[in-house]
Amino acid sequence: MSSRFYQRRKAGVFDRVLRRLQAQADARGDLDWDLHFVDATVVRAHQHAAGARRSGAIGG
């Protein structure tokens, strides 16, 4: 699966899908460009910040 995903990403398939979906929603009047946007930001947290147990933790 991953190789197909990367091939399609490299070919721009997902960008075209996103643009088409946005164009359709905009044509229907479903998008207010002052409020709706796509943000590709990824914020990663340390595993302990996400609630993972640490060795030596109480009850762990």
pTM, whole model, 2 decimals?
0.51
Half-sphere exposure in the Cβ direction for 58 (13 Å, CA) = 0
Confidence category of residue 57, pLDDT binned at 50, 70, 90: low
Q: What is the pLDDT of residues 9-35, one digit of tens each?
A: 999 999 999 999 999 999 999 888 777
- Tell the residue number behind the tokens 């796509």, with chain if given: 38
Whether 60 and 54 have beta carbons less than 8 Å apart is answered as yes
Neighbours of 3 (CB within 10 A): 7
Burial of 31 (0-12, 13-18, 19+ CB in 10 A): middle
- Indicate whether 3 pLDDT > 60: yes
